[in-house]
Structure 1
Amino acid sequence: MLINHLWARTLILLVVFGVSTPAWSKYTPEQVKAVYLYRIATFIQWDQELEMNRINICVADDSEIQKILVQITRGKQVRNKPLNITDADCDVLYISERSNLNLLAGLPKGTVTIGGMEQFTNSGGAIELVEKQGKIKPKVNLKNISGYQLSSNFLRVAEIEGGKQ
């Protein structure tokens, strides 16, 4: 358990400081993306957050990321709300396959959409996590954000598109 905790803390530090691929090469892209999903949840302020009793994170199509996310979020909370990895009532939805872009249609306002494929933000998603120049860095399309705000601390490390919110 202590080893898992130390592994997760180390991986979080690597993601936060944007370490290049050689430095995190012992971590898989799935591990890095799972940590990003966890960390991004801490940078979101939902408009209806006072009514929320937990934060549901859904991983639509990547069982490896889902498995890692379950491990690193076990017992964790964001602003006194437990994190719940589930398949329903998503507050955060991660999609890695282009064939699942149809999941973006009809989502309730306030669902944070994150994708692990190129051009996700141009397809209606809010945050894109893809590897570029040896790093996984977030790209945010401000036009696709509704029902929540992203922290300026998160926006500072992201590539921004879509103009002002």
Structure 2
Amino acid sequence: MNFRRWVTSVCLAAAFVSPLASAKFTPEQVKAVYIYRIASFVFWGADEQMNEISICAPDDEEVRDILTDITKDKLIRNKPLHISNSGCDVLYITKKESLDLIKLNPNRTISISDIQSFTELGGVVELSTLGGRIKPRVNLENVGEYTLSANFLRVAEIVGGKQ
């Protein structure tokens, strides 16, 4: 593992377990950072053909605005990030009424939410809060045409699928 990946892994792990990380920021800011960081740990089957990575947050304007700010001029594997409401590579939803968006988006879209039991409702990554800390839960049965980095899976609670 090269030094950059090691530093990234350590920073990601610290963000997932540090109670101080969320003490200085709003819940929406913390979620936006999680969404951005999780996107960097997703490897799409058609990664080479992708011109950009589109992150959607159609039902949470505040998180969408924060994502727009924190992803400005940022790249993931040399691909610019685009905050949108369509063509989603990463889909973040906050309302149960939006669960249909998982089915409407292609199998290449990773879905993320803070909805309780999201992983049982068809979602891939649930940002669950335990003891004031956000910890990602991943349902491997719901993963589509992409893979999730082992570095991310090490800090997540794995449910469903082969473990």
Structure 2 length-normalised TM: 0.88
CA distance in 1, matches of 2:89, 2:110: 6
Shift of 1:25: 1.8
After superposition, residues 1-165 of structure 1 pair within 5 angstroms as: 16-20=15-19, 24-164=22-162
Shift of 1:150: 0.3
CA distance in 2, matches of 1:71, 1:102: 27
SS state of the match for residue 117, structure 1? coil
CA distance in 1, matches of 2:21, 2:77: 31
Q: 1:92 to 1:13 in 2, by over 3 A?
A: closer
Q: What stretches of structure 1 of length at least 5 have no aligned partner?
A: 1-11
CA distance in 2, matches of 1:32, 1:58: 16
Structure 1 length-normalised TM: 0.87
State percent identity of aligned pairs: 51
Shift of 1:152: 0.3
Q: What stretches of structure 2 of length at least 5 have no aligned partner?
A: 1-10
Cα RMSD (Å): 1.7
Deviations, residues 53-89 of structure 1 (Å, cap 9, x unaligned): 0000000211111111111100000000000001110
SS state of the match for residue 99, structure 2? helix
Shift of 1:106: 3.0
State the one-letter code of the partner of 2:119: T
SS state of the match for residue 103, structure 1? helix
State the one-letter code of the partner of 2:31: K
